[in-house]
Amino acid sequence: MSAASLTTSPLLSRELIFVTGKGGVGKTTVAAGLGMALAAAGRRTIVCEVGAQRRLPALFARESGDPRSVPANGEEVALDERLWATSIDPNRSLREWLAAQLPSKSLAELLTRSQVFQYFAAAAPGVREIVTVTKVWELAQANRWDKKAPPYDVVVVDLPASGHGIGLLRTARTFADVARVGPIASQAGRVRDTVEDPSRSAFVAVALPGELPVTETLELEALVASELRRPLDAIVVNALLKRRWTAADLDRLEAAGAAVPGPARRAARSETVRTQAQQSQLARLRREAVAAVVTLPFVPAPTLGREQVAALGAELAGKL
Ligand SMILES: Nc1ncnc2c1ncn2[C@@H]1O[C@H](COP(=O)(O)OP(=O)(O)OP(=O)(O)O)[C@@H](O)[C@H]1O
Ligand SMILES: [Mg+2]
C-alpha cells in the first residue's frame, strides 16, 4: 500500500491502534501485519505486545540465533525499517514512569528498590494495569519519559483476549475518576482521553467466522461501548474459506457418480457446508454489528511466516 492511500484511511492515521478479540483468532497476526503495512507506508511504527506473549520478535527472526528472536523484556527492538516491537514489562514501565515524575533519578531508584514500594506495586489493585496502559500511550507521545527516545507515529497494540484487554484499558478511566486530582489523575485522564477518542485511537476486533465467535464479537462491541464509551472501528473476520463450489457444481459432481471418486465428492461437499456456514455467520455479523466488517482469507499453512503475515497486513490495510 502506498503512503498516499494510507493517509486517506482515517483509521490507520491514528496514533494508537488496538487489536482485540478472543484467544487464538489471529490478533498477533493482524497486529504484526498492520504494523508491517504501516511501516512500509512510511510511518514510524511499533507493535506492542501486552501480556508477555513474545511472539513478535520470533516471527521476524530470519534464522535461529538471530538476536531478534531473543525475548524483548520491555526493550524496543528494531525489526525492520521504521518497524519496532516491544512487550510491556509493568515493573520496568513503573520505574521509567517514576524516573520521569520525580525530580531526581536517584530518588526514583531509591524508591523503586524499597520494600514498601515493591509491596505496593505488587499488591495495589490496578497498578500494573494502569502502568501498562500508560506505557502503551507513552510510546506515541512527543515527550517520551526517556527524553532521548523519539516518539512513534503509530503504536499497534496486540491486546490480551477480549474482556481482559478492555478491562486493562478501562483502568485509565478508573484511575482518573478515583484519583481526581494530582499527577496520577491528570495523567490517567490524558491516557483515557486518547484511548476513548475515536480520532486518536482505533479499535479493531478480530473474529473467526463461526457462530460462537460472532456472538462473542457482538458482545465485545457492546463491552467497548459501555466500558470505553466509544465504538469499535472495524471487525476483521479472519481465516475465511474461499467459496470454491457452487450448488450447481456440487449437483454436477453428484451427477458424475462413480466417475468422481467418493472421497473427492465427500471432501467437496463438506468444504461447501463449512463455507456456507461461515458465510451465514459473516452475514449475521454484518447485519448485527455497528462496526464495518472486513475479511481476511484462510492461508493454508501450518504456521504463518513473515511474508504471509505481511501479505495479510497489506490486504487488511487496503480494506480499512
Ligand atoms: N488468516 C489465517 N490463515 C491461516 N492461519 C492463520 C491466519 N491467521 C492466523 N493464523 C494462525 O493461527 C494461529 C493463531 O494466530 P495468532 O497467534 O495471530 O492468534 P492470537 O489471537 O494472537 O492468539 P493468542 O490469543 O493465543 O495470542 C497462528 O498459528 C497463526 O499463524
Ligand atoms: Mg497473540
pLDDT digits (tens, 9 = 90+) for 234-244: 999 999 999 88
pLDDT single digits (tens) 245-277: 788 888 888 888 778 888 888 888 888 889 999
Judge whether 259 lies within some domain: no
Q: How many domains does the chain have?
A: 1
Residue 68's pLDDT band (cuts 50, 70, 90): low
Task: Give the three cell numbers for residue 45.
Answer: 511504527
Which band of pLDDT confidence, cut at 50, 70 and 90, is reported for residue 313? very high
How high does pLDDT run on average in the chain? Answer: 87
Q: Give the domain CATH number at 176.
A: 3.40.50.300
Check: CB of residue 53 under 8 Å from CB of residue 45.
Answer: no
- Domain assignment of residue 167, yes or no: yes
Is the pLDDT assigned to residue 284 strictly greater than 90?
Answer: yes
Answer whether residue 61 shows pLDDT above 80: no
Q: Is residue 129 part of a domain?
A: yes
Ion ligand 2 contact residues with beta carbon within 5 A? 27-28
CA of 28 to the centre of ligand 1 (A): 7
- Between the CA of 18 and the centroid of ligand 2 the distance, in Å, is 13
* Position 43 in a domain: yes
* Ligand 2 centroid to residue 224 C-alpha, Å: 19
Q: Which pTM does this prediction carry?
A: 0.91
pLDDT reported for residue 247: 80
C-beta 302 within 6 A of ligand 1:
no
Q: Rounded distance, CA 270 to CA 267, Å? A: 5
Sign of the CA dihedral running 180, 184, 189, 192? negative
pLDDT > 90: percent of the chain = 49
**DSSP letter string over 139-161?**
TT-SS-SSTTSPPPSEEEEEPSS
Give the range of the structural domain holding residue 93, as residue numbers without chain letter.
Answer: 3-243+291-319
Distance 26 CA to ligand 2 centre (A): 7
Distance (Å) of CA 215 to CA 38, 106, 211, 282, 311: 30, 52, 6, 11, 28
Does 298 contact ligand 1 (Cβ within 6 A)?
A: yes
State residue 303's pLDDT score: 81
Is 276 a member of any domain?
A: no
**Reported confidence tier of residue 186, pLDDT bands at 50, 70, 90:** confident
pLDDT score recorded for residue 264: 83
For residues 174 and 292, what is the distance between their CA atoms, to the nearest angstrom? 29
71 in a structural domain: yes
Which ligand 1 atom minimizes the distance to the CA of 304? 31
| Residue 299 Cβ < 6 Å to ligand 1 | yes
With 70 as the cut, is the pLDDT of residue 175 above it?
yes
